[in-house]
Amino acid sequence: MPSIIKSLKLLSDPTRLRILSLLHQDALTVAELQEILGMGQSRISTQLSQLKAAGLVKDERSGKNNVYSATLPQDLVSITTQAATEIPEVAADNLALSHILSKRKDYARAYFDELAGRFGKDYVPGRSWKALAEALLKSMNYRNVADLGAGEGTLSQLLAQRAEKVIAVDLSPKMVDYAQNLARENGLDNLEFRIGDIESPPIEEQSIDLAIFSQALHHAEHPQAAIDSAFKILRPGGRVIILDLLQHNFAEARELYADRWLGFSESHLQQMLEKSAFSEIETLIADKESAAPKFQTLLGMGIRPKE
């Protein structure tokens, strides 16, 4: 538990208060904080170091970057929020934060719009038929299926051959348009594509028997929110299946594939599934690529408990 006296002393500094106000809203890198605050890296790093030492922020390594988030005790959240309103720059900080978060999504959307129509012909890290087969073995005979972050719909089309109804969700309008046309050409009337964010998919709550993320979670702004949403749309007894990259250090993936996160460890995926209240959780390494950078595919599964 952070010292209240030390915490209040740190919060009396406007710069540290601005940083905490931002990190309480979203996890950010030093570079993103620089862009928002208009300050130098050294100054921001110094402030973050003090806040981290006091237990008010934490950092998580993601490739070459440290991603910082607030770990404020509940008693200090309201104080920080109220105090931040007294700082004139905070309103501009919040606008700049919205711009940063919008740029993140725009970058990912532009990347997948560009890929529409040739997605299956290009290399995508972590995608292999072996890994997909592992998931498909777990997804037989489900009535209603959600493919979250469906891309061009390769997996959705396979699922539609067995399921009664498949709803495929993707953020890219061009990808959705391409995939829906392809589904019509193949006579898959039970496959419907919808434009939407996997963190809040346009699907009715408790209407799905199986929810799948296939190499989609590392593109999510907030992976935990995406898994929480999957829990909400699943019926009691429904299953979630997650195929994603095992945590790696290939930082170039951010530029090459519009990745937001450099994969997840088994323990992190387990923790996220537990936090969303899934039960009967399993995780395993489904595939290991032989070519550099030797991506590994992580498979996670969980069931929404019956009420």
By CB atoms closer than 10 A (0-12, 13-18, 19+), residue 169 is buried
What amino acid occupies position 271?
Q
Instruction: List own/partner pairs for 78-83 with CB under 8 A and 24 or more apart.
Output: 79/8, 79/11, 80/11, 80/17, 80/20, 80/21, 80/24, 81/21, 81/24, 83/11, 83/17
Q: Would you say residue 112 lies in a domain?
A: no
Domain limit, last residue, from 77, 104, 131:
104
CA distance 263 to 121: 22
- CA atoms of 230 and 215, how far apart (whole Å): 15
Report d(CA 106, CA 219) in Å as an integer.
12
Q: Is 133 found in the same domain as 97? A: no
Which 8-state DSSP code applies to residue 306? P
Closest CA to 146 of 4, 28, 241, 287: 241
Please say if the pLDDT value at position 120 is more than 70.
no
pLDDT at 293: 92
Range list of H helices, the chain: 4-11, 14-25, 30-37, 41-53, 74-84, 89-115, 129-137, 154-160, 173-185, 223-233, 253-257, 266-275
Length of the chain: 307
Q: What is the CATH classification number for the domain harbouring 133?
A: 3.40.50.150
Q: 168 with 273, same domain?
A: yes
pLDDT band at 107 (very low <50, low <70, confident <90, very high): confident
Q: Do 295 and 220 share a domain, yes or no?
A: yes
Beta-sheet pairing, 208-214 with 234-245: parallel
Question: Residues 24, 11: contact at Cβ < 8 Å?
Answer: no
21 in Cβ contact with 15 (< 8 Å): no
pLDDT at position 113 = 78
111: in domain: no
In a shared domain, residues 168 and 237: yes
**Dihedral pair phi/psi, residue 288, rounded to 5°:** -130, 120
> Is the per-residue pLDDT at 13 higher than 80?
yes
Work out the widest C-alpha separation in the chain, in whole angstroms.
67
> Which residue range is the domain that position 66 belongs to?
4-104
Whether residue 138 is predicted with pLDDT greater than 60 in this model: the reply is no
Question: Which of 104, 139, 172 is the last residue in one of the domains?
Answer: 104
At residue 167 the predicted structure's pLDDT band, cuts being 50, 70 and 90, is very high
pLDDT of residue 194: 96
Is 148 within the bounds of a domain?
yes
Same domain, 82 and 123: no
Domain count within the chain: 2
CATH number at residue 60: 1.10.10.10
> Does residue 81 fall inside a structural domain?
yes
* Residue 200 in domain: yes
Tokens of 287: 């595939």
Asked whether residue 48 falls in the same domain as residue 174, the answer is no
Q: Give the residue among 66, 64, 68 at the shortest CA–CA distance from 251.
A: 64
Q: Is residue 109 part of a domain?
A: no
pLDDT above 70 as % of the chain:
93
Task: With 0.85 as the threshold, say if the pTM is over it.
Answer: no
Eight-state DSSP code of residue 304: P
Give the pLDDT band (50/70/90) at residue 274. very high
Give pLDDT tens digits for 23-46: 999 999 998 999 899 888 999 999
Task: Tally DSSP H helices, then E strands, for the chain.
Answer: 12, 10
Same domain, 156 and 263: yes
Q: Give me the mean pLDDT over the 235-249 stretch.
A: 95
Residue 110 lies in a domain: no
Amino acid sitting at position 226:
A
The pLDDT of residue 104: 79
Give yes or no: residues 73 and 210 share one domain.
no
